Structure 1
């Protein structure tokens, strides 16, 4: 059976009509408000809404877009929203999808950051965050296991993960260099041993699922996706528009405030992060934490863990933890502004430097990505990068464990830190173990685990 599309042409009866811009906007707002649970939960929510329920995009195209968003720096879940919005309604659709994916969480994070800075030294708030820190450690460990199960399919992938862990923990190599090296290994390895490097990090859907077409597939067949074919001047035009949009305000603030100001530091550092944040939020957090705590002195290790706990409780991408870091940096270097105003402006600058590049990467590369279907070399590079991410997140888990469970950590050379065992906090260790059992064994959700850990922190602090 066939039905009529909005332009009067026939369309398969099992494929819905092309959504209007208003319908798409309402759905992106819904996804932005409900996108809890980190990248995995957000991607699952989009798959449910876009592929399973509305059939706006088919399974195969959804996975194709997701796999290549994994190759880009920045939060892959938000970039996937921008990608699908762009497929459906061109640039305007991508802008609306990406903005609504971030905005609800950004407002919540701003409120939580303000509350934290004003009241974090109150005994009750301190006790709550004591419990949250322990649960965050369990969340990161769960992320290591989840990504590892997906990525470490053979001994070569395990070796890449171990090498990445040693590179960042012992050798202190820059995160971007580790990502580049892993991608290069995967690219070259595919030429000589494709069986060890083939396959994407997310896998492929079943043949039956791949056969289920969506609205985007129908639009492609009718020739309505002309914007997915790159023109001769596409790259030049996008670069000419989006680089000034992204870096113009950052440069202007640096000039007005001075290159040594906290504003120049925030804009420059997070603009750099936007270029090198491959592998998702967990992968880059260790690098951000080390820079924010050690290099800039914006916050303490415990506060960095608190920030991640706050980000875990908000909708939107987990990388919103960077907003907390930017807020803290400006809050503590506020003069001549009030601390709350400075913190809010620091958070806004961080958001701009972090998320505007996501639109740039998609609008620049998506038309070319659409032409790279079934590219095995790129898929192999992605698989190797994801394996390296496992090692980097292991480093993050170890960093958190040392600073949550122990009160004192000392260096022993080669950049290696070990805990002072006499400084063990049995309450933190107990809460962390309970949170891991809840999440890994009992399959309790992240938000209930965080809430229960916060309440348990109150009880333990009272004792």
Structure 2
């Protein structure tokens, strides 16, 4: 059995071997980000010994601190460890490509056959199950990241209320939350000298509106919106859901509420990162070019937020100010997820059967901790096929 690679030694694997592994994981890796990062530890650290435990923990810590989908960032970091930018780039593409192709195929089928009763029936059941899944995800994230911290709870509740009231996400509030916790817990030295530029701080709300001010083509609008969304995916891939809802449904009107819930459902039943739903949304808006632009724009910030700080992370990753800033943004993101549950549920839970599916989903995930979401989603799809025709007939 190969020994773990030590610092300065030649890697125990070829780059193409790691790329092939990530390609396979992206094609069959169900279970969400927690399961995906667990597979990487089991296979690459404990099984093949391609990486040390320290490599893995450093990558996981950076992935949790920086914005971006957790599993994709960890994959990119592992590619960077021994093969730097080339490794990070090829590994990131390999991990995302399979699920992107799957959601594009589903988008094509959805556009072509969306009017058929069987597809409507499938999403009737799956959409309700997705609500239950997001409820439990928000619960787990709240317990893990907010805990009993009063300041984080205040941020969490505020963002949840704002999301419910506006049915959209205000990006600058996430940044403001991070700055607030940073200055409260670990104020920088220049702040005590009156160095805070109050005029600059007042311009933060303006930043969130710049993306919608320009008169641009649809593809440019897609690129700008999804790049902004990708830069604020803190805490979980599901953190992007309220951002997407506010932009594609409320602000731009690219999708209806039903189409948006269907897009989230597609992300739940496909392997790879949940964030890949942006490919499905982009396809519905502007076909294959829209899907490609949406995916690239979303994952580019994730890539940059991994490869740029990677060389310096060991030195600065545990600085109190950095940790505090990320804590604030994470609390805000999880609060937005909680608020988005209510917003989306109002459009999805429309009758007794859908309410029961959502409740049963919550109960099952609460009772059986290791139950994987795709199993529930597939069961909900079958229930939808059985129940939807009956409800429509009545």
- After TM superposition, the score normalised by the length of structure 2 is 0.84
Alignment pair present for 1:125 and 2:119? yes
Separation in 1 of the partners of 2:216 and 2:251? 14
SS in 2 for 1:353: helix
Partner in structure 1 of residue 30 of structure 2: 36
Please provide the CA RMSD for this pair: 2.7
1:9-65 CA distance string (max 9 Å, x none): 9x8xxxx96322232222222322232222222222222223322333333442332
Q: Among residues 132, 135, 140, which one is paired with 2:129 in the alignment?
A: 135
Partner in structure 2 of residue 293 of structure 1: 249
Partner in structure 2 of residue 395 of structure 1: 339
Partner in structure 2 of residue 456 of structure 1: 383
Structure 1 residues 123 and 89, CA, compared in 2 at 3 Å: closer, same or farther? Answer: same
- How much does 1:383 deviate? 2.7
Separation in 2 of the partners of 1:319 and 1:29? 17
1:77-116 CA distance string (max 9 Å, x none): 2121111111121111111110111000001111111111
Aligned ranges for residues 20-169 of structure 1 at < 5 Å? 20-156=14-150, 157-169=152-164
Separation in 2 of the partners of 1:274 and 1:164? 18
Separation in 2 of the partners of 1:300 and 1:62? 41
Aligned ranges for residues 15-414 of structure 1 at < 5 Å? 18-156=12-150, 157-170=152-165, 174-191=169-186, 259-330=215-286, 343-406=287-350
Separation in 2 of the partners of 1:356 and 1:184? 24
Structure 1 residues 303 and 56, CA, compared in 2 at 3 Å: closer, same or farther? Answer: same
- Give the unaligned 5+ runs of structure 1: 193-257, 331-342, 407-424
- How much does 1:294 deviate? 1.9
Greater Cα radius of gyration, structure 1 or 2: 1
Structure 1 residues 4 and 168, CA, compared in 2 at 3 Å: closer, same or farther? Answer: closer
SS in 2 for 1:276: coil
Separation in 1 of the partners of 2:240 and 2:327? 17
- How much does 1:4 deviate? 12
Q: Is the 8 A contact 1:175 1:284 kept in 2?
A: no
Structure 1 residues 392 and 126, CA, compared in 2 at 3 Å: closer, same or farther? Answer: same
Structure 1 residues 4 and 37, CA, compared in 2 at 3 Å: closer, same or farther? Answer: closer
Separation in 1 of the partners of 2:5 and 2:348? 58
- After TM superposition, the score normalised by the length of structure 1 is 0.72
Separation in 1 of the partners of 2:324 and 2:46? 28
Separation in 2 of the partners of 1:284 and 1:160? 18
Q: Among residues 347, 359, 362, which one is paired with 1:436 in the alignment?
A: 362
Separation in 2 of the partners of 1:19 and 1:369? 24
SS in 1 for 2:231: helix
Q: Is the 8 A contact 2:129 2:380 kept in 1?
A: yes
Structure number with higher helix proportion? 2
SS in 1 for 2:312: helix
Structure 1 residues 173 and 318, CA, compared in 2 at 3 Å: closer, same or farther? Answer: closer
1:265-322 CA distance string (max 9 Å, x none): 2222223323333343322211211221122221111110111111111122111111
Partner in structure 1 of residue 201 of structure 2: none
- More deviation in 270-279 or 386-395? 270-279
1:128-164 CA distance string (max 9 Å, x none): 1101101111110111111112112214232331122
Q: Is the 8 A contact 1:322 1:350 kept in 2?
A: yes
Separation in 2 of the partners of 1:49 and 1:149? 28
- How much does 1:174 deviate? 4.6
Q: Is the 8 A contact 1:326 1:350 kept in 2?
A: yes
